[in-house]
Amino acid sequence: MENSRVHVEPFHEAVSGAQQSSVQDPSTKARPARALAHGSLRTTFMDLVGRPPYESEYERWLGLGRDKLLDALLGSEEFWGHWWSEQLYYFLLVDNFQPIARATKEIPDKLAVGRMDYRTALHRIALTSSFDQRNPGSDTFVTVVMEQFCGLVVQKNRRDLESGKRAYDGGKGNFLGTIVNNQAEVIEVCVNHSKASKHFLAREYQRLVHAPGDKKTLANQARRLHRDPWKYLATARDWLLSEEYSQRLERLEPKSNSLFLNGLFVDLLDRLPTEEELDPMRTALDALADPRPLRSVVVRLLLDSGRAKIPEKDTITDPTRWIGDKYQRLLGREATGEELRVFVGIFHQPDCRPATILYALLSHPEYQNY
């Protein structure tokens, strides 16, 4: 629901409750205070706010515990801004279908200050004209609402599909066990259905942990979330302190095109791209079955733009240390002795520039993942 008064759960009670549950549940006690290294710090930032750390954030967070970082990021404005972008992308509300109404754009801020819960935010998405335009006609609209909100297979729920279509067209129908009379009621029933809580939690677990969750555990969490949607942040915190997320930090996952572009700008410019910079590049990359060649072109363009923070070669007094630092910052790991030997040798060649080293790392297949 949306409240005129601020709901404190997202910032204080959610964290406190999650800390208590972490003590009670052994599955959430897995190494919460292990010191953050370059890789785990970089990955956690990208999972939660959609970008790697800024330079000042590396200095602040390296060596601190993951639990402290979660206290700072979960429920922040940037967390909810990234969450909102991910939801719009999930519903394919991008480019010409992106909602532009002021009230809609204010939703991430309301989430951040506790004036709106996640369920209400998703409900608002389905009520936008953009969602209606993206899914024209009764058959498409009701199918998408059933599938994307509740995870239902319409072929196995034909009766509910037909009832929803009748209501969409102004008739009456028994839709998912509730009598509905119009399009708005179809949306309301879907958004508030217990299956919607279950489906939302399953896809959020996949989005954050990059693995399917235990069905029994997720079902129990979904029942609690269905009763109280303000418990989302506490639930997410438990996931991010779990052994499963520790295992996620040990493996690489593919970057989406948005994540690649955000990361590239932060890594080279120490800032995020503007909407005017991001949208056309993401659209071009999304149109390709294999965006990796075009990603390499984008890397080259940004390196040659004159905006990237690249030192002059003669100012790098210790190439081994500089290259090792770039491995940590860009790939989230230490360079091997062989990698350092090869790159330092290339660096000392007369025609090699620092941008040459950076291009090799940023266009490498490993940088496509995080």
Q: Is 184 exposed, middle or buried (0-12, 13-18, 19+ CB in 10 A)?
A: middle
- What is the pLDDT at residue 7? 53
For 104-131, what is the mean pLDDT?
97
pTM (2 decimals)?
0.89
| Tokens standing for residue 125 | 């998405």
Fold of the CATH domain 257-368: serine acetyltransferase, domain 1 (1.10.3130)
Q: Give just the sign of the alpha carbon dihedral 209, 212, 216, 219.
A: positive
**CB-based contact 250:43 (threshold 8 Å):** no
Name residue 274's beta-bridge partners: none
Q: For the chain, what percent of residues have pLDDT higher than 90?
A: 90
- What is the pLDDT at residue 218? 97
Using one digit for the tens of pLDDT, what is the confidence trace for 182-212? 999 999 999 999 999 999 999 999 999 999 9
Strands (E), 52-181: 173-175, 178-180
Give domain limits for the chain: 1-134+193-251, 257-368
The yes-or-no verdict on residue 15 having pLDDT over 50 is no
- What is the pLDDT at residue 3? 60
Amino acid at residue number 307 = R
- What is the pLDDT at residue 122? 98
The yes-or-no verdict on residue 23 having pLDDT over 90 is no
Query: What are the phi and psi torsion angles at 173 (to 5°)?
Result: -155, 160
268's CB contacts (< 8 A; 6+ apart) are 302, 303, 307, 308, 309, 310, 358, 362
Confidence of residue 2 (pLDDT cuts 50, 70, 90): low
Confidence of residue 27 (pLDDT cuts 50, 70, 90): very low
For 80-95, what is the mean pLDDT?
96
Cα 206 to chain centroid distance, Å, stands at: 10
The yes-or-no verdict on residue 22 having pLDDT over 60 is no
Considering only CA atoms, which of 109, 119, 120, 38 is closest in space to residue 80? 109
- What is the pLDDT at residue 10? 42
- What is the pLDDT at residue 34? 76
Q: Which residue has the tokens 């932060």?
A: 266
Q: pLDDT averaged over the chain?
A: 92
The yes-or-no verdict on residue 30 having pLDDT over 80 is no
Whole-angstrom distance, CA of residue 15 vs CA of residue 32: 14
Whole-angstrom distance, CA of residue 187 vs CA of residue 176: 11
- What is the pLDDT at residue 1? 64
